[in-house]
Structure 1
Amino acid sequence: MKKFLAGALAFMLLLPTAAASSKTINPALPQLPSPSPHEKVVMLFSTKTKPNRSALEKMIEPFSSIKIRYVFHEVFTGFSIEGERSEVAKLEEKYPNVQYTAEANMYKTNMEESVPFIGADRVRKFFDRKGARLTGKGIKVGIIDTGIDYHHPDLARNYKGGQDFVDGDRNPMESRNKRGMTTLHGTHVAGIIAANGVMKGVAPEAELYAYRALGPGGQGTTDQVLAGIEQAVKDHIDVLNLSLGTDVNAPDLPITTALNKAVERGVIAVTSSGNSGPNLWTVGTPGTASEAISVGASTPPMKVPYLHNRLWKKDIKLVPMYGGVPWNLISPLQMVKGGLGEKKDLKRVSGKIVLIKRGDIPFTMKVKNAQAAGAKAVIIYNNTGGEFLGRVSDEVRIPAAAITRKDGEQLMKSLRRRRVLASTKYRIEKDRLADFSSRGPVTINWGIKPDITAPGVEIRSTVPNGYLSLQGTSMAAPHVAGACAILKQAHPDWTPEEIKAAFMNTAKEMKDDKGQPYHAYEQGAGRIQLDKAVKTETLVMPGALSIGRLPSARFEEKEKTMLIKNVGKEAKNYTFSIPEPQKGVHFELPDPFTLQPGEEQKVTIHAERLMTYPKKADLIDGSIQLSDGKQIIHIPYLYVVNEPRYPRVMGFAIARATSGSMLHYEIYLPGGAEEFGIALYDPATMKYLGLLDWRKKVGVGFIEKQVPIPAKMNVDLNQVFAVAFARTKGREDYQELLLNLATPLQKKGNG
């Protein structure tokens, strides 16, 4: 193939995955199959000039299996085709106008509290310029997702049409498959934006348009998502929601580029940041698109259970398992150890709370075993650092919750020493960053993402034939998309950049359990406040300062230009300040100035890295304040020092090539590598078998290559464990992949 197109990645619906059990390796895996030359594939072509459909039809005449899927002109220049692998390969070599190609692989993908929480109920008292209440009326909102159940009574009156890029028709209904491949995600997203019945969404009178790019199982190809963006631009959509993403943190993939172009065309693009938190550098494409509004997930007001014992120094926070029954215990109950939750570990648990370690068997099985043994509740503690979100099936009839490894190990020590009684206390908490919410920054350009946060935990919304609570950044993004519809109705002449700025300028800075602000690359500007955004009288663009990388030179300095606009009705005096100066950076801020109504001014901020920066820190962030005499705007900033510690290996995928003697692999290296390779191991013994590939001085971006299967290894591919590694400036990172049966391309994703 020609240069690999950075877009053939697995996109997923952004719902948090059920936490996995400990990794176990099965040495008896099915044989990895050889793709047939007659296998149907979808290929995406990027071209130097706009393609002509008539010319393309003539070009494919010699190839009986090939047909044209989509021709792109609006946000991407190129086309996609489908055909037998062997004929596609021949066509690829003959077509002269191609910049690069890639196989178009798969993209995947409670309101009563959350909607009022962001100020959506208060804006109903506000009016637009025509005297109508702010409900999103007249604003067109597009949803690229699994479709919409447009017969749902809460959505039917708002649904105006759409297109299905999975089945190739104009009926974007959710998948309905008797074999269990039904979908509901797009309907849930649509309800958050504009439900108008029993439930009320953020913008209950907005017009809904569905672009079904993800089919059964919530999966769709790259070109289908691109086609959805392209059609939304053609349909003059005002706001576009994409609650989908990859685990690749990159600012330059086709979907991110397409979204940036859509914003240039006047579309307000809203994306999910991803569900791979709490680690840094986990924000995924298209949440990395610089011009889109990338949304992280926060908590609405929630009643949070804490485990209490008077002898403990602090109460232990419980995270109820998703899909299970609510944790509603109050009276003290005895706690006992339950091992790994296997039947043999649960002999004397009747009427008690059982403490179980994560790992080996699924959560549902652990809880069902305890339930069968008569337990009152189950607490599962992590086997790695940090919190986690677990999922259990609806067969579970007792409460189940998760705690951290640290808390679990302390509880285990207590249980070894004495009989422990624990009761439950409840606290109302809000504006906490969801543990699963992906964090930034963005690799390569070091941008701050997400831009803002919105409620994404336990959000009840519409689904086919009813209502359901879900959580994820998939639920956070449509809160913002609905808010964009309200703001667009209130200020129809505002550009996407101005609407994004209004939300960032008026966001509420969130703080953790210790009262410390979350970092800028975790929460962006903070949690959205729609009522304040509607009434803002000053716009600061951009809403955050991504300063970039400052090397070790003492006097290295960077300049950043910002536009300040007075959108109020009175003259305003502006003053910059730094509330809490950070060590290691010095700012030269503009002098005070005055703007008349409607007037704007560009200002320059100088940032200098000092030698006194914290030696162990590679991400320095904080905020600058701008006062207009009435409102104080917090402008988050971020700069990175030298070469930060970000993942060097992403999107590793490997499969047998068309030729049975070759393997085909793909990988993304956001920082390049001084040394890169793929090592093979025996998964049963982890014995080193040899290198599949190895090279030095590899550049930034995607690698796609076919390599011969090493004959000297004399191993069965179904028993090979592959590790891709990259070493750069004394640092090493790797990604593992078990060569596991029958899918043509093995992908890792954030679910």
Structure 2
Amino acid sequence: MATKIYSYFSFLLIFLLHIHSSISSPLKTYIIHMNPHSKPPSFFTHHDYYSSTLLSLSSSSSSQTHSPSILYTYSSSYPGFAASLTPEQADELRSSSGDVVGVYDDMVYQLHTTRTPQFLGLDVPGEGLSAGDHIDGSDVIVGVFDTGISPESDSFSDVGMPPVPRRWKGKCDSGIKCNKKLIGAATFSHGFTAAEGNAADDFTPRDVDGHGTHTASTAAGAHVTNASLLGYASGTARGMAPRARIAAYKVCFKTGCFGSDILAGIDQAIRDGVDVLSLSLGGGSAPYFTDTIAIGAFTAVEKGIFVSCSAGNSGPTKASLANTAPWIMTVGAGTLDRDFPAFAVTGNGHKFTGVSLYSGPGMRGKHEPTGLVYGTKGNGSSNLCLPGSLDPARVRGKVVVCDRGVNARVEKGEVVKEAGGVGMILANTAESGEELVADAHLIPAVAVGMKAGNVIREYARNTGKRATAVLSFGGTVLNVRPSPVVAAFSSRGPNLLTPQIMKPDVIGPGVNILAAWSQEDGPTGLEKDTRKTKFNILSGTSMSCPHISGLAALLKAAHPEWSPSAIKSALMTTAYNHDNMQAPLRDATDGSLSNPWAHGAGHVNPHKAMSPGLVYDLSTNDYIAFLCSLQYNPLHLQTVTKMRNITCKHKLSDPGQLNYPSFSVLFGKTRVVRYTRELTNVGSPRTLYQARANAPPNVGVKVRPSKLYFRNVGEKKKYTVTFAEKKGTNPPASKSAFGSVLWFSKKNQVRSPVSFMWNEIL
């Protein structure tokens, strides 16, 4: 499963690949977009019509081996179907009648808690946010798209749960026993099997990987006492919305998550009646009309379903985001105020602090120095501890320094162990900087940052056979300062697909997160890891995404009348931009100050999001006007919106005119950018708000009007903000800068981040 192929960040990197035909069969999977109104009355169902369309292909009867077949017929999320076709058959469909709008290759996407409830202020069991709030949430259904679920986990106990909402239309596939907590479990694997043939996998909703169980319990897991990973992070575990229902949609398998399966899952989830969709997976930055997740999410949001997606784990590289559609909540990752310290002391007396989740026996005597080696074969592969790269004659009985990168962090420890090593120091390189991510290694191992790693590497080189080290482990430490810190792996802006829309939207807890785990797999995901644990600690935007999904479920329960965009706005405009030392948020890459391309509007604050005062609301028509501003042709617009005749009469003059809770200002062709926004009062009546703007020295900002008085709840008022380059000034050397627009009253602060870009910056 995906957990067994941990790459750079050991928890499933995000990237986009095209599926290639196998040598044995030329059939490939395609998603066919049909005109939603084209079905002749002679066909009883769309499935019958689509089947007839395939049978009419001139190439369909040339070989039974290559006969086209329908994998899915979509009805809620997409007007069309997925089918196995030869490239020739796909080309014939493309050139057929006007009923076929488009034929697209299937794409494969990759999968991108005890302390987090307290860290977020969700600290009173059974009371929602805090005493007095009394948010039940049992009528809210969270759909989790992942590797399935482990129903036996205590996190999915239905003790004390009321009956399942009558509106629920979902079911449980074979192999899973549902209850009043886990109310649905379904598998969508036709795209996977069409691409991979008879590849061995589990096609029930059961989670043999662990990732899906982890994300589902993070979003809405029940309270579980005495939870821990091998003694680390012990306490009571719970999801963000512990009373919400869970529906698991298994769409991810060994080689990834196929677009045709994801779309079929979203199609079903909409019909089932979910309220929140949580997708800890994604691909590259593709146009919205070719992005399966964006297409499915559009229909979900249109139906009132909140959609939360991970931003990706390709940071700190700029413009590395996934899931950038404005109707999606794009979530980055930050740290908790909890750590798992571990220590390496070298023979020259220097002590280095790192992290580790190692829980086995020590190397020898507790404080006995052990030989230290680095680069046993004098090449890069041995420095990286790639499989087969270490010289057992030099490694046996020693601690090995391994550079981070290329292969999984936990795999490096396995390589050291197989070569006879007794311990490992995992040293960051420039790519990962000072970020520390803990792992449950199979041997004593300490992960250290780049600066410490450079010193240790130099010591090992210069001291040779006399180099030694002692490794020790400090358990669990709370109230770490500073926190939160933006994770170095969290993908960054700017949003190259639509630069006028700032992404990510927010960050949430995503580093060293404890949540439920499948008993089918060890905590490292390695084949030789036979340990079993009910909980595991993982890191990634895969972990931060379900935190926001669960918080959205709480907001939905407290404010059932709010739209998905109102919930998103509440989470964004109330987010904070300081750590627990009251200093600006910092970046784990190098300790420098973070910015909205890394943390979006900031770190979510559930308490304030419950009462944001004002929200930036959006409707389906607003998103259509946005798409029209992108110069998409009618067929592309139909692909995303499923609507037949879009005239674009209400096209936005600029994509940045979308009523979004943040601003992205592009200078270069113009020195003045003017945007209009509309605020809706969801707070108190008879409230006065005043505007305050913050911008770099070379940019002037005017907000008109500068005061807004709301007499009634639900009242809407517009304002215009003008951003202008000051005459005689030059853009900053970095070609980018940041600011904010704030509306404040006696009770509320409604803050929107602003990014400024000058010409090309990448």
TM-score, scaled to structure 1 = 0.70
What does residue range 610-629 of structure 1 map to in structure 2 within 5 Å?
610=726, 612-629=729-746
Equivalent residue for 1:463? 517
| 1:193 aligned onto 2:180 | no
CA distance in 2, matches of 1:290, 1:315: 47
In the superposition, relative to structure 1, how do residues 260 and 220 fare at CA in structure 2: closer, same or farther (>3 Å)?
Answer: same
Distance 1:73 1:595, change over 3 A: same
2:319 to 281, 286, 294: 281
Give the counterpart of 1:432 among 478, 485, 501.
485
Distance 1:359 1:563, change over 3 A: closer
Give yes or no for contact 2:663–2:752 (8 Å, CA) kept in 1: no
Higher share of residues assigned helix: 2
Deviations 1:663-688 (A, max 9, x none): xxxxxxxxxxxxxxxxxxxxxxxxxx
Match of 1:241 in 2: 278
Amino acid at match of 1:59: T
Letter in 1 for 2:266: I
Residue in structure 2 matched with residue 673 of structure 1 by the alignment: none
Q: Secondary structure at the match of 1:634?
A: strand
Once the two structures are TM-superposed, the CA of residue 375 in structure 1 deviates from its matched residue by 4.8
**Structure (1/2) with the larger strand percentage:** 1
Residue deviations 1:229-262 (CA, integer Å, cap 9, x gap): 2222223321111111113365554322332342
- Structure-to-structure mapping, 1:496-511, within 5 angstroms: 496-510=564-578, 511=585
Question: What residue is the counterpart of 1:472 in the other structure?
Answer: 540
Matching residue's letter, 1:559:
R
Taking the aligned partners of 1:486 and 1:34, their CA distance within structure 2 comes to 44
Q: Distance in 1 between matches of 2:275 and 2:238?
A: 20
Residue identity in the other structure for 2:543: M
Deviation at 1:138, TM superposition (A): 0.3
Matches within 5 A, 1:378-527: 378-382=425-429, 384=431, 386-387=433-434, 396-404=442-450, 406-413=451-458, 428-429=480-481, 430-446=483-499, 447-465=501-519, 466-510=534-578, 511-512=585-586, 517-527=593-603
Query: Residues 596-611 of structure 1: matches in 2 within 5 Å?
Result: 596-598=711-713, 599-610=715-726
* Residue of structure 1 equivalent to 2:696: 582
Q: State the Cα distance separating 1:457 from its structure 2 match.
A: 1.6
* Residue in 1 that maps onto 2:675: 560
Find the counterpart in structure 2 of residue 271 from structure 1: 309
Tell me which residue corresponds to 1:56.
50
Cα separation, 1, equivalents of 2:349 and 2:666: 42
Correspondence for 2:756: 639
Separation in 1, partners of 2:745, 2:362: 47
Measure the CA separation in 2 of the matches of 1:565 and 1:211.
35
Deviation at 1:413, TM superposition (A): 4.0
Report Cα offsets for 1:145-168 as digits up to 9, x if no partner. Answer: 222233434324312224322269
Q: Which of the numbers 537, 554, 563 marks the counterpart of 2:613?
A: 537
Counterpart CA distance in 1 for 2:219 and 2:686 is 36
Aligned-partner Cα distance in 2 for 1:618–1:43: 41
Give the distance between the partners of 1:114 and 1:325, measured in 2 at CA: 26
Shift of 1:471: 1.8
What's the Cα RMSD here?
4.2
| 1:163 alignment partner in structure 2 | 186
Q: Tell me the distance in 1 between the aligned counterparts of 2:361 and 2:512.
A: 12
Alignment of 1:172-187 (within 5 A): 176=202, 182-187=208-213
Which residue does 1:108 correspond to in 2?
A: 110
Using the alignment, how far apart are the partners of 2:410 and 2:133 within structure 1?
A: 50
CA distance 1:244–1:325, shift in 2 (3 Å): farther
Q: Is 1:152–2:153 an aligned residue pair?
A: yes
Q: Residues of 2 paired with 1:397 and 1:223: CA distance?
A: 40
The aligned runs of 1:231-380 (5 Å cut-off) are 231-248=268-285, 253-254=290-291, 255-284=293-322, 287-303=323-339, 305=341, 318-320=354-356, 336-339=372-375, 340=383, 343-344=390-391, 347=394, 354-358=400-404, 367=413, 375=422, 377-380=424-427
After superposition, the C-alpha distances for 1:628-659 in whole angstroms (9 at most, x for unaligned) are: 122333321112211231xxxxxxxxxxxxxx
**What's the CA shift for 1:40?**
2.7
Contact 1:549 1:642 in 2 (8 A): yes
Cα separation, 2, equivalents of 1:597 and 1:201: 35
Letter in 2 for 1:475: M
SS in 2 for 1:450: coil
Query: One-letter code of the match for 2:83?
Result: I
**Structure 1: tracts of 5 or more residues without a match:** 1-10, 21-31, 169-173, 646-751
Equivalent residue in structure 1 for 2:70, among 68, 71, 78? 68
Contact map agreement 1:141 1:209 (CA 8 A) in 2? yes
Q: 2:371 touches 2:469 (CA, 8 Å); kept in 1?
A: yes
Q: CA deviation at 1:177?
A: 8.1
| Distance in 1 between residues matched to 2:276 and 2:4, nearest whole Å | 19
Identity %: 24
* Match of residue 47 from structure 1: 34
Aligned equivalents of 1:135, 1:501: Cα separation in 2: 22
Deviation of 1:314 (Å): 11
Seen in structure 2, the aligned counterparts of structure 1 residues 354 and 211 have a Cα distance that, compared at 3 Å, is closer
* 1:571 equivalent in alignment to 2:686: yes
Corresponding residue of 1:679: none
One-letter amino acid of the counterpart of residue 433, structure 2: G
Q: Distance in 2 between matches of 1:444 and 1:314?
A: 48
The TM-score normalised by the length of structure 2 is: 0.70
Deviations 1:99-125 (CA, angstroms, capped at 9, x unpaired): 33222132332x110122122235954
